[in-house]
Amino acid sequence: MAERIVRIGLAGFGTVGSGVAKLIIEDADSIAAKTGLRLELACVVDIDTTSSRPIKLPEGLLTDDMSKLLSDDTIQIGVEMIGGTDAARQVQLKMLEAGKDVVTANKALLAEHGNELYRAAHQNNRCIAFEASCAGGIPIVSAIRTGLAANNITSIYGIVNGTCNYILSNMTSKNQDFAEALAKSQEKGYAEADPTLDISGGDSAHKLAILASIAFGYEISLDDIFVEGIEGISKDDIRYGGEMGYCLKLLAIGQKDSQNRISLRVHPSFIATDSSLARVEGPFNAVSIFGDAVGQVMFYGRGAGMMPTASAVVADIIDVALGNSATSFGHSNLRPRSETAPLIEKIDNLVSRSYIRIMCRDHAGVVAQWSRVLADHDVSISGAIQHEDTGPDNTVPVVIATHPARQQNVAAALQDMEKLDVIGAKPVCIRIVDIPEDKD
């Protein structure tokens, strides 16, 4: 079979960009043998043309002049590895206008401006491939689009931020507190110097926006996603939850109910210790998907890192070059945001179980008081433990697990509990998520 040359312009020569260049240069022969495509790096654009990188480029390839990439008509595919949402958005739009297909790992950009970019791609009869934007090396985008295409997908539960999972794993297994676990994850290079986007849940929300849009078929906006981060988590709650049989994970959850109402949320979640996702440790990612035909499928692997992410980027380059991405992209119709507006379920209406910790003064009648508040708001108790540990002001921790209750009611109950004299601090509330394990 004759080889076909595929010329690639790479914009952004940071960590993942270097990994992409490395794979294209070092694995060109094996990729050609497998696919018949000879990948060729035509140019690499970065404002920094002097720092040393883990891959040495052939002479003359590295430039700080984006117009070299844009004006080179032999370049079929533009790979945007710049990151951020401003310059990257302009670059993607210009690549599309210049007639190039785009490959990107930029989840923030797609979550915030994806709908605009997808439209620009359709108008220019080009495609955008973004396997690497979600869960790094795990081929989850193509699994949803292609492998599960015959399913009505009813829910997605994902651990899609390796930094948060690393922090929570260490808080759980090594009894570290949040600040210590965060520092460790920075030492390891999993967390950025400014870790806000990860620990706030923002990065997980970006990925959920992308995954949910292709799974449910709607344009989804970040505003549709309820987001709570892991910054406030105390190792005591991880321990108390553990005693009740739960493990704490930052989950990205997308659900569609029988009336096609979609709910989207990212928050710390207590899940059963023996569930599949509970066993995902350290910086790993995993996504469980439920489809009406397939039941539960789960995908597991490294959600970040130079080479795992580059693996997904180059897979996309191959798929674009074969013409498959264009077909999938052309046929994946996201229904406009306006059509789904009335469908999106706000968090207040969500029915969920909760873990609640209150710090009670050790008086007679305390249980009667807090249990009355919960009952008044129609929040039913499924389990409770009064621990003998002592907190500040001679308080003791009382840990309560609730039956499913409207989140609006739970919020109101928490407010009322905080007003009780017998309660010494703001109650802690963490949702319990019962992932419907497909078993028999």
138 is a contact residue toward a copy of itself (CB under 8 A): yes
Q: Is 207 a catalytic residue?
A: yes
2 is a contact residue toward a copy of itself (CB under 8 A): no
Q: Which of residues 215-244 bind a copy of itself (CB under 8 A)?
A: 217
From the CB of 189, what's the least distance to a copy of itself, in Å? 10
Binding part of the chain for a copy of itself, among 88-96, 298-306, 357-365, 406-414 by CB under 8 A, reads 298-306
Among the options 100, 207, 249, 256, which is catalytic? Answer: 207
Q: Are 301 and 287 within 8 A, CB to CB?
A: no
Token pair of 235 as six digits? 């190792």
Mind giving me the DSSP string for 112-160? Answer: HHHHHHHHHHHHTT--EE-GGGSSTTS-HHHIIIIITTTS-EEEEEEE-
Task: Number of residues interacting with a copy of itself: please give it, by CB under 8 A.
Answer: 66
10 is a contact residue toward a copy of itself (CB under 8 A): no
Within 8 A by CB and 6+ apart from 247, the residues are 172, 241, 270, 271, 272, 273, 275, 278
Q: Which of residues 167-206 bind a copy of itself (CB under 8 A)?
A: 188
Neighbour-count burial of 79, counting CB atoms closer than 10 A to its CB (0-12 exposed, 13-18 middle, 19+ buried): buried
From the CB of 281, what's the least distance to a copy of itself, in Å? 8
From the CB of 162, what's the least distance to a copy of itself, in Å? 11
CA–CA distance, 168 with 266 (Å, rounded to integer):
15
282 is a contact residue toward a copy of itself (CB under 8 A): yes
CA–CA distance, 278 with 272 (Å, rounded to integer):
7
From the CB of 365, what's the least distance to a copy of itself, in Å? 46
CA–CA distance, 185 with 282 (Å, rounded to integer):
10
Binding residue for a copy of itself, selected from 14, 99, 147, 404, defined by CB under 8 A: 147
CB closer to a copy of itself out of 64 and 292: 292
Binding part of the chain for a copy of itself, among 64-72, 227-235, 245-253, 302-310 by CB under 8 A, reads 302-310
19 is a contact residue toward a copy of itself (CB under 8 A): yes
439 is a contact residue toward a copy of itself (CB under 8 A): yes
307 is a contact residue toward a copy of itself (CB under 8 A): yes
- For residue 103, give the 3-state DSSP assignment: strand
Binding residue for a copy of itself, selected from 251, 315, 356, 359, defined by CB under 8 A: 315
Cα-based torsion angle of the residue sequence 356, 191, 208, 297 in order, rounded to the nearest 10 degrees:
-90
Distance of CA 66 to the CA centre of its chain: 30
Q: Which of residues 246-275 bind a copy of itself (CB under 8 A)?
A: none
Tell me which residue of 114, 115, 34, 124 sits closest to 80, measured CA to CA.
Answer: 114
Q: Are 195 and 182 within 8 A, CB to CB?
A: yes
Query: Tokens 């709910």 identify what position?
Result: 263
37 is a contact residue toward a copy of itself (CB under 8 A): yes
CB closer to a copy of itself out of 331 and 419: 331
Neighbour-count burial of 263, counting CB atoms closer than 10 A to its CB (0-12 exposed, 13-18 middle, 19+ buried): buried
CA–CA distance, 151 with 292 (Å, rounded to integer):
6
27 is a contact residue toward a copy of itself (CB under 8 A): yes
Q: Under the rule (CB under 8 A), what is the footprint of a copy of itself?
A: 1, 19, 23, 27, 30-31, 33-37, 131, 137-139, 142-143, 146-152, 188, 217, 276, 279, 281-283, 291-302, 305, 307-308, 310-315, 317-319, 322-324, 327-328, 331-333, 438-440
Catalytic site residues? 207
